[in-house]
Structures are given as C-alpha cells and as structure tokens.
Chain A
C-alpha cells in the first residue's frame, strides 16, 4: 500500500502480558516515529528511528517499552508486563528524514486496551 500500515488495529490484552505492535512505513522513508495518544494527553513522543538506529529514545516511559527497526523498514514496539495505564492508541509515522519542517505520514494506529 501507499501509506503507513499498522497492525493490529485493535489489541485487547490482560495486565501483565507482553504485546508487540507492528509498523510498516512508506517505502523509501528513512525516519520512523512512534507516538502514543491518550485521552487528555495529546500525542506523546516515544521513539525516533533514522534507518535502523534510534538516536532519540528519550520518550519511552519505562524499561518495559522497547522498539526495534530492521532493514531500515518495519518497526516493532514491544510492551512487556502491560499495565492498565498503557491503554492508549499507539501511532507510527514515517518521513523522508530531512531537516526542517518534515511532513510526517501517520498510520491509523493500534488501539491497545489492557484489562
């Protein structure tokens, strides 16, 4: 497809379980971002990839959160031992990786519900 693809679109899990969220960026986009969107919080930055490296992972809220990107393309966000406060929409975005006013292209997100 032409856009950013995220899977699954919805994920319901039990507290304490691990979850993996996947992002397929637009082909040729070297930059990839993960954001989290909660009610009343707006979009919260989690991590940024340039190629396969993550020069900015300062937004990850705890060591239960990790992300990787392989082959400069697909990225996986992993949340271990999920907690109820992890419930949110997790959005992935990609861009050409240029300086300045980068246009980010967002996926439709994964709605995570932790019971």
Chain B
C-alpha cells in the first residue's frame, strides 16, 4: 500500500466550476502538507503548503488538512482554463528531508 493515495483522474470540469482534489495518507508522522502544480513537460511548482491541521486560503485556492482522518484537500474556486494541469499532493515529516508525493490528479478546465 502506498503511503499517499491520490485519484489520478482525469478530472474534467467546465470553466467557473469549483474543483475538489483530495489525498489520503497512512503515515501519522507527516506534519507538512503541500500541493504542487505541474504543467505538461514542466517540473512541479509549489502551490500551497499547510502545517499540521487546518485551512489555508490563497486567492481562489484553499487547502484543508484533517489529520484525524489523514485526509487533505485542495479546492479551486472559479476554475479557469489556465488551471488545467496535474496537481500533486506532497507530505513531509517534521524531521527528515524527503517529500512523499501522491500520484497526481490530471485536471482539465474547459472554456
């Protein structure tokens, strides 16, 4: 079983829709939770990060972490065609250096 599970999609939505992306994990030592966005033929870029449980909002993006359920989410409001990309969740323990990534969800926002 993978430490981090993420539905690979693909997910296709109309422009303006609210998008919900999710990951579950099994390692209770994870304390840092991140979302990376990856455009085709490019490396991932950090979108948002959250420490421990709670919510964080940045413009149209909201990240949520529920450590009791080992479940994290990324919400995109008023989705735009430019949001079309693969979204990867990533997690990290307090000590240690490596990020553990989910498989990534491929999102297409149709105009």
Contacts and interface: CB of A to CB of B under 8 A. Distances in A.
Chain A: interface size category: 20 to 34
B9 to A, nearest CB: 12
Nearest to A3: B43
Contact of B43 (A42, A45, A91, A100): A91
12 contacts: A42-B88, A48-B97, A48-B98, A50-B97, A55-B97, A56-B96, A91-B43, A101-B49, A102-B92, A105-B45, A107-B43, A108-B42
Interface of B: 4, 6, 8, 32, 34, 41-46, 49, 51, 88, 90, 92, 94-104
Contacts of A93: 43
Contacts, number: 62
A43 B92 contact: no
Contact of A101 (B34, B41, B45): B34
Interface string A80-115: 000000000001010000011111111111000000
A31 interface: yes
